[in-house]
Structure 1
Amino acid sequence: MVVETEGTFEVDGHSLYTKSWLPDGPAKAKLIFIHGFSDHLGRYYNFFPTLAGCGIAVHGLDQRGWGRSVRKPAERGLTGPTARVLADMAAFITPHLPASPADPPVFVMGHSMGGGQVLTLMCRDEYQESVVRRVRGWLLESPFISFSPEEQPSWLKVFAGRLAGRLLPHRQLKHDIAVQHLTRDPEVAKSILADELMHNTGTLEGLSGLLDRTEALAKGLVRPRAGGAVRALWIGHGTQDKTTWFEASKKYFDQYAGEVADKEFKAYEGWYHQLHADGPDSVQFYKDVGDWILARSEEKPEAKL
C-alpha cells in the first residue's frame, strides 16, 4: 500500500506545496522530483505510486510560481531568477540527503524545464560538495536543453524578451504549449486543457532565465565537472518530442557527459514529450526509471517493476 502525504515547504519567506508517495515499509531509495513548465505534481499519473510500490519514496514540490504553490494570480510564473530557482531546489533536496550510511540513497529527477534545472544544479560549482556529491544518481526526462524545431522562437522574439525582462522582470507573459505535441494519449491532452492549475504563464524574468539556461546547456558551457562529483546520470527522451528536442539531449549526452562514468541514454522510439503520460507504453518508462534507481541502491531487490 502506497501512502500519500501533502505538506508545505518554507523557503525564503515563501510556502511551497509538497507531496510525497511513500512505500509500505522502509524505503530502498528516495527520489526528489522537479516538474516542468506550467506543470504540477498532480500531473504525473501512476508514475510516483508505481515507484513507491517497489520501495522508492518520492518527494516533490510545486515550484515557486506553479501549481498549488500559487495563491493569487500575480504569483503565476513568478519563479525569480535562475539563482533563486536553484536555491529553492537545493533547499528542498538537502533535508532528504543521507545523514548516515544506513539511510537510503537519494536520486534527483527533473522533467522538461525541470530537467534543465536539475542538469544546471548538477553542474554548478557552488553545489558540488553540499548537494551533488551526496546524491547517488540524476535522472532527466525529456530535459529542456533546446527547443524543438517546431517550438523554436525567432531570434528577434528572444532578443526582445530578454531586453524587456531586464526592464520589467515581473511582467507576466502567457506561453501556450501545443497540447498535441505533449502526449499521444487523447485523454491526457483533454485533461491538460481542462486543468486550471496549468496556467501557461511565465514572467519575463523567469522566461529569460529559462532561455539563458538552455543556451548554456546547448553550448556545453554547463556540463559535469572533471573529477567526478556526479556519480550516475540517466537521460530518457522520445524521438518524436516536438516540445523539447531529442537531438539536443542526445548531443549533450554524447559530447558533454563524458566525465560521468555511470551513464545511460534511453531513446524512446516514436514517443512524445510526456514519457510518464504517453499512453499505455508509459508503464515501460516507469519500469526503466525504477529499475535504474534500484540497481544503484545499496539493496538490490530480486523483484523488478
Structure 2
Amino acid sequence: MDKVETIESWYTTSDNNQLFTRTWKAVGNVKAKLVVVHGFGEHCGRYDELLKNFAAQGIESYSWDQRGFGETAKKANTQGNAQGWDTVLGDVDDAILRNKEDGIPLFLMGHSMGGGIILSYLTQGDRYEGAAKLTAAIASAPLIQLTNPPPAPVFFALRYIAAAVVPNFKYSVGIDPSGISRDPAQVEKYKNDPLVNDAATFATLKDMLVNGELLLKTSAKITTPILVAHGTADPINKFAASKVMFEHISSSDKNLLGFDDCYHELHHEVKDVKEKVTKDYIDWIEAHL
C-alpha cells in the first residue's frame, strides 16, 4: 500500500483554532469519500493502516486530530480540552461540508468516543446541514456506556460539581492499554505512541459520558443507514449498551456486527479479525454506492 498518497496539513476553523488533518487519497478513481472521527486520547494517525486499505479500494478518507488531542493539542497546548460538545459536533459538520463533492457518495465513521460523536451528530441532523449529505455511517465500538463505569456518586460529582466548578481541571482516566486489542504488538504500539494521552478536562469527560448515555434515549432519531461494529468482550466500552442503542435506531437500513471475544479496537485486533472487519467496512461502503 506504499502507493497510497497521504497528505498532512493544518486547517484553521471559523473560530481560529488550528486542526491537524490527514487525507488518504484514493488509488485510481474516487468511488466514495469518508470522514473519520477518532477516539478518546488518540489521534487520526492511528487509522493509517485501515484507511490505506480503504484508499486501495478507491475510498478517499479525511480525518483530523480533534481539539484537545494529538498534534492539534500539542501545537496549542490544550491537551484533553475538546472545547464543548457543540464545538465538537460543529467540527464534524464542517468536515462533511468541506469534503462533499457532487456525484461522489460521502460516508461518516467514528470509533469509540468518535463513535459516540457521530451518533450524537446523527441524532441532531436537523441542526446540521451536513447530515443530509451523508450516504451512510459506521460506528465502531461507540462510547455509549463504559464497561466499568465510575460509581454513581463519582459520576454525579463529575457531572454536577467538578465539571461546573473546575471545568478545565485535567484528570487522567487511566485507560488500560491491554484492553485495546488481543494483539500484543498493537498494545505496545499504543503504549509507546507519544501522541496517545488519556488526560482530559472534567468538562470534556462529562460531555463524553453524558452524551453517550443520552444516546440510549435519542438514537431513535437516527434515520441514516448505519453499521455498528463492536467486540463483545470490549473491556472499555460496553457492547450491551451498543446493542440496546442499536435496537432503537429508526433507520430501516442498519446492521450490528458483534465480534465474539474481541476487544476495543477491531481495526487493530488479531490478524484474521482485523482483515475481516476491514472487508466488512469496505463491503458496507460499496453496497451503498
1:34 Cα deviation (Å)?
Answer: 0.1
2:252 pairs with 1:252: no
Alignment of 1:73-112 (within 5 A): 74-98=77-101, 100=102, 103-112=103-112
Output the CA distance in 2 between the equivalents of 1:158 and 1:286. 35
TM-score when normalising by structure 2? 0.94
Structure 2 partner of 1:152: 149
Instruction: Answer yes or no: is the 8 Å Cα contact 2:219–2:246 preserved in 1.
Output: no
User: Alignment partner for residue 270 of structure 1, among 257, 261, 270?
Assistant: 261
Structure 1 partner of 2:215: 217
Secondary structure at 1:131's aligned position in 2? helix
Q: Which amino acid aligns with 2:179?
A: H
Output the CA distance in 1 between the equivalents of 2:167 and 2:283. 42
1:91 Cα deviation (Å)?
Answer: 1.3
The one-character-per-residue Cα deviations of 1:59-115 (angstroms, maximum 9, x if unpaired) are 1001000011113584101101111111111112211123x3xx2100000000000
Secondary structure at 2:22's aligned position in 1? strand
Alignment of 1:1-305 (within 5 A): 1-11=3-13, 12-71=15-74, 74-98=77-101, 100=102, 103-127=103-127, 130-148=129-147, 151-162=148-159, 163-218=161-216, 220=217, 222-225=218-221, 230-254=223-247, 256-257=248-249, 259-280=250-271, 281-297=273-289
Secondary structure at 2:138's aligned position in 1? strand
1:41 Cα deviation (Å)?
Answer: 1.3
Secondary structure at 2:209's aligned position in 1? helix
Output the CA distance in 1 between the equivalents of 2:163 and 2:75. 21
Secondary structure at 1:44's aligned position in 2? helix
Output the CA distance in 2 between the equivalents of 1:33 and 1:114. 8
Output the CA distance in 1 between the equivalents of 2:29 and 2:48. 23
Output the CA distance in 2 between the equivalents of 1:52 and 1:123. 29
Taking only the aligned residue pairs, the percentage that are identical comes to 29
Secondary structure at 2:182's aligned position in 1? coil
Output the CA distance in 2 between the equivalents of 1:239 and 1:78. 30
Q: Which runs of 4+ in 1 moved over 2 A?
A: 71-74, 125-128
Instruction: Answer yes or no: is the 8 Å Cα contact 1:235–1:266 preserved in 2.
Output: yes
- Unaligned ranges ≥5, structure 2: none
Instruction: Answer yes or no: is the 8 Å Cα contact 2:5–2:24 preserved in 1.
Output: yes
The one-character-per-residue Cα deviations of 1:148-203 (angstroms, maximum 9, x if unpaired) are 1xx21111111222211111111111112111111101011111111111111100
The one-character-per-residue Cα deviations of 1:181-233 (angstroms, maximum 9, x if unpaired) are 11101011111111111111100111111111012113x1x2243xxx73311
Output the CA distance in 2 between the equivalents of 1:287 and 1:127. 33
Q: Which amino acid aligns with 2:116?
A: G
More helix by share: 2
1:248 Cα deviation (Å)?
Answer: 0.7
RMSD: 1.4
Output the CA distance in 2 between the equivalents of 1:263 and 1:125. 17
- Unaligned ranges ≥5, structure 1: 298-305
Instruction: Answer yes or no: is the 8 Å Cα contact 1:133–1:230 preserved in 2.
Output: no
Secondary structure at 2:264's aligned position in 1? coil
Output the CA distance in 2 between the equivalents of 1:286 and 1:77. 29
Q: Which amino acid aligns with 2:80?
A: G
Secondary structure at 1:87's aligned position in 2? helix
Output the CA distance in 2 between the equivalents of 1:45 and 1:90. 22
Instruction: Answer yes or no: is the 8 Å Cα contact 1:109–1:118 preserved in 2.
Output: yes
Instruction: Answer yes or no: is the 8 Å Cα contact 1:132–1:230 preserved in 2.
Output: no
1:251 Cα deviation (Å)?
Answer: 1.1
1:45 Cα deviation (Å)?
Answer: 4.5
